[in-house]
Amino acid sequence: MRGALGGPRILLRRLREVMAEPVSAQDRLDRIVVLIAANMVAEVCSVYVLRVDATLELYATEGLNRDAVHLTVMRVDEGLVGHVAREAEPLALSDARSHKDFSYRPETGEEIYNSFLGVPILRGGNTLGVLVVQNRARRTYTEEEIEALQTTAMVLAEMIASGELTALAKPGAEPAIRRPLHLKGVSLADGLGLGHVVLHEPRIKVTNVIADDVQREMVKLDSAIAKLRHSIDLLLEDDKLSTSGEHREILEAYRMFAHDRGWMHKMREAVLSGLTAEGAVERVQSDTRARMMRASDPYLRERLHDLDDLANRLLRELTGRGAGTAREALPDNAIIIARNMSPAALLDYDRTRIRGLVLEEGGTTSHVTIVARALGIACVGQVENIAGLADAGDPMIVDGQAGEVHLRPPGDVEIAYAEKVRFRARRQAQFMALRNRPSVTRDGVAIDLHLNAGLLVDLPHITETGAAGIGLFRTELQFMIASAFPRISEQLKLYRAVLDAAGTRPVTFRTLDIGGDKVLPYMRTVDEENPALGWRAIRLGLDRPGLLRSQLRALLRAGAGRDLRVMFPMVTAVEEFDHAKAILEREMTHLRKHGHALPERVFVGAMVEVPALLFQLDEMLARADFLSVGSNDLVQFLYAADRANMRVADRFDPLAPATLRAFRMVADAGARHGKPITLCGELASRPLEAVALAALGYRALSVSPAAIGPVKSVLLKLDVGAAREVLLPLLKDTSGLIDVRAELRSFARQTGLPI
Ligand code: PEP
Ligand code: MG
């Protein structure tokens, strides 16, 4: 069939001429369908464009009734055209009527055509429309013809993506490519961000898709592939990599794909059909994406990311454009979009310009999330294909609280969010005004509010919030965001900076809490069936005393001449505490012997995170200077509900009697021994929970920076004595029918607490 008019290459060349003509968009489309029909010796050629309302509109036709153009509109679950749009794959039929999805629109007059070939118009794997040819006679479309039509569809994809067709659309029925999208993900960091999209790894835009000289393009493609293979081999030979398991695995996968004959063959075919080398890479990748995005197999989806990366590397070879850093031209109000990102990469951006972060992957405990939270950047994760759907500069809203994003939001949504942002800013200003007010309840009980911190970027929060100190400094964060074990000098530098920033306010350093969900990419992991119950925190520290010793040394040196507070995580048995404390004392002796100055006083405490410790409180308090309840872990262990598993993490209410009785045991034991007790889990950051803790006898809470204001404003109005009178009888009740949360809410309402 390709003989008569010279086949796809001639067609593409003609199309290029049409694309360059200074005619209206409709005229251009009309000419394109005529050219395609003639070239493919088809009686019909039609272009359907996917609209924002998820319907397909006939935009141009040769052969069907022209009056139907812009009038015929179909749903995507309707007819063969809908089928192609849905499946994002070509459909070739010699007897279209016998297909289950066949339906026809009388206004088009298409019922007389027996053969049907439809291909999706794809960009980045997303369907933008459908290109169709039809013949009256029953005929089989060859592979070559299908390929040729797909190649032609690329030209239409570029035309739709350029926005040229929007002028032809009725309001509310614009091409879907720019449609507003409301996408759900998971909340990773609270906050609202309004701004414009910045793609962390910008896709290389292919603008020149039609080849001048096919032979030359083939040579270009082959040489780019050869260079790509060579560069991957070089990376794999780099023996520094052998330590970092995951990286190597990815490169091995790259090498396998880069030698994949199917991939190569498809790209060469695309070049033969008249595309430039980069046009061919883009086309094959777009088809692959369309197919793989519909796969439910997580393994396949993961491979899609590898293939995306590989295609991008190939495009860089071909276009000579570098990786392109989004950092340089960062707009004000940037919303960064990435598949995933290292914490170091996020820290490289100018944080004052970032309003939000949206990730295709990312979990609540992923490292970049921890940094986003510390920086106060609204962050939503697990937003499917967001990097493929958004374009640089698109307006976007990140709702970190709800865990959702609005891409290209409609005006009303934008107005509503702008109002929310102003409301938050007003509340923030109110909290700021409380900054220097001591945290003392209405009945005169001081309840100190400390900060949870872990990174240098947290330090400005101390003065910003007016916190009493740092109640929990998570030292593992420095280790988690590093690419290798931080040297003792680096640890020392951080600890000093923290103490300097805190001035006279106390800082409680928790020793390394690694293991469980806190993994170090550079540390060999052990396979554990239940990592949360496994080799982690102080267990690891005692088994690997070298690590613990060097950290304690860094802490002791940082604390020279001032007070130092050290806390051990996940203590389960008294002996562990004794053992860890003995290591600390040995380090002190060692430093003294070598003439180093020591802290004036050293306070040593432990976290109460393992339920077993609840039954050894007297033994613990006879030894420790203080205890701090880690409610995140304590609650997960009390309820046997994994804190990282969204199915069960919020299944049990921590304000239930079971938890409150456990918390009370610790507060009471502290009072008996005259030792300070703190609670530093996330729970304390919630105002109603903070009221309950105050009522149980807690006089110090350590919370996230954003929670200091809301919690303090409640405590200032609280009558702790009255709250205790309400709460304690509830904990004695044995009916099993008590709803503590409801009772506390009603107490809050009656006493006018701002909850
Ligand atoms: C806790 O378990 O409550 C705690 C504060 O420690 P982390 O969240 O770091 O495990
Ligand atoms: Mg913990």
**127 Cα–ligand 1 center, Å:** 45
- Using CA atoms, how far apart are residues 233 and 256, in angstroms rounded to an integer? 11
Q: Under a CB-based contact definition with an 8 Å cutoff, are residues 175 and 49 in contact?
A: yes
**404 Cα–ligand 1 center, Å:** 26
**Topology (CATH) of 214-319:** Enzyme I; Chain A, domain 2 (1.10.274)
Q: Which two tokens stand for residue 660?
A: 């409150």
Q: Under a CB-based contact definition with an 8 Å cutoff, are residues 650 and 701 in contact?
A: no
Q: List ligand 1's pocket residues with C-beta within 6 A.
A: 472, 474, 513, 609, 630-633, 680-681
- At 124 the pLDDT is 85
Question: Between helices 657-673 and 687-696, what is the axis angle to 10°?
Answer: 50
- Using CA atoms, how far apart are residues 627 and 605, in angstroms rounded to an integer? 5
- Using CA atoms, how far apart are residues 419 and 428, in angstroms rounded to an integer? 14
Which of 513, 636, 698 is the pocket-test mutation for ligand 1 (most atoms within 8 Å of CB)? 513
Q: Kindly report the protein residue whose alpha carbon is nearest to atom 4 of ligand 1.
A: 630
Which of 472, 628, 637, 638 is the pocket-test mutation for ligand 1 (most atoms within 8 Å of CB)? 472
Q: Under a CB-based contact definition with an 8 Å cutoff, are residues 304 and 288 in contact?
A: yes
Find all residues with CB under 8 Å of 716, minimum gap 6, and list them: 434, 437, 439, 440, 441, 442
**104 Cα–ligand 1 center, Å:** 62
- Using CA atoms, how far apart are residues 740 and 209, in angstroms rounded to an integer? 66
**Ligand whose nearest atom lies closest to the CA of 631:** 1
- At 326 the pLDDT is 58
Residue ranges in the chain whose pLDDT is less than 50:
1-5, 242-245
- In the three-class reduction of DSSP (H, G, I as helix; E, B as strand; rest coil), residue 381 is classed as strand
**513 Cα–ligand 1 center, Å:** 9
Q: What is the pLDDT of residues 87-106, one digit of tens each?
A: 999 999 999 999 999 998 89
Find all residues with CB under 8 Å of 68, minimum gap 6, and list them: 58, 61, 105, 107, 108, 109
φ/ψ of 616, rounded to 5, equals -135, 30
**260 Cα–ligand 1 center, Å:** 46
Looking at the chain, the domain(s) classified CATH 3.30.450.40 span 6-178
What is the edge-to-edge ordering of all strands in the sheet holding 334-338? 181-184, 404-407, 395-399, 192-199, 334-338, 354-359, 378-381, 186-189
- At 681 the pLDDT is 93
Q: Kindly report the protein residue whose alpha carbon is nearest to atom 1 of ligand 1.
A: 630
Name the nearest CA neighbour of 704 among 732, 681, 731.
681
Domain 6-178: assigned CATH number: 3.30.450.40
**Ligand whose nearest atom lies closest to the CA of 630:** 1
**514 Cα–ligand 1 center, Å:** 11
Q: What is the amino acid identity at position 93?
A: L
**631 Cα–ligand 2 center, Å:** 7
Q: Which two tokens stand for residue 448?
A: 């100190």
In DSSP terms, 129 is beta-bridged to: 49, 121
Q: What is the pLDDT of residues 605-631, one digit of tens each?
A: 999 999 999 999 999 999 999 999 999
Residue 6: Cβ within 10 Å count: 12
- In the three-class reduction of DSSP (H, G, I as helix; E, B as strand; rest coil), residue 451 is classed as strand
Looking at the chain, the domain(s) classified CATH 1.10.274.10 span 214-319
Q: Which two tokens stand for residue 513?
A: 């809490």
Which of 609, 663, 698, 703 is the pocket-test mutation for ligand 1 (most atoms within 8 Å of CB)? 609
Q: Under a CB-based contact definition with an 8 Å cutoff, are residues 452 and 508 in contact?
A: no
Report the atom number in ligand 1 closest to the C-alpha of 633: 2
- Using CA atoms, how far apart are residues 10 and 151, in angstroms rounded to an integer? 12
The CATH architecture to which 440-751 belongs is Alpha-Beta Barrel (3.20)
Q: Kindly report the protein residue whose alpha carbon is nearest to atom 9 of ligand 1.
A: 474
- Using CA atoms, how far apart are residues 317 and 267, in angstroms rounded to an integer? 15
**Ligand whose nearest atom lies closest to the CA of 570:** 2
Looking at the chain, the domain(s) classified CATH 3.20.20.60 span 440-751
Name the nearest CA neighbour of 148 among 280, 271, 273.
273
Which of 680, 683, 689 is the pocket-test mutation for ligand 1 (most atoms within 8 Å of CB)? 680
Q: Which two tokens stand for residue 598?
A: 């020591």
Looking at the chain, the domain(s) classified CATH 3.50.30.10 span 181-202+325-411
The CATH architecture to which 181-202+325-411 belongs is 3-Layer(bba) Sandwich (3.50)
Q: How far is CA 248 from CA 140, 257, 368, in A?
A: 46, 14, 21
- Using CA atoms, how far apart are residues 226 and 364, in angstroms rounded to an integer? 40
- In the three-class reduction of DSSP (H, G, I as helix; E, B as strand; rest coil), residue 422 is classed as helix
- At 325 the pLDDT is 55
- Using CA atoms, how far apart are residues 77 and 187, in angstroms rounded to an integer? 32
Report the atom number in ligand 1 closest to the C-alpha of 631: 3
Q: Kindly report the protein residue whose alpha carbon is nearest to atom 8 of ligand 1.
A: 632
- In the three-class reduction of DSSP (H, G, I as helix; E, B as strand; rest coil), residue 682 is classed as helix
Radius of gyration of the chain, Cα coordinates, nearest whole angstrom: 32
Report the atom number in ligand 1 closest to the C-alpha of 513: 9
Active site positions, annotated:
367, 680
- Using CA atoms, how far apart are residues 454 and 343, in angstroms rounded to an integer? 13
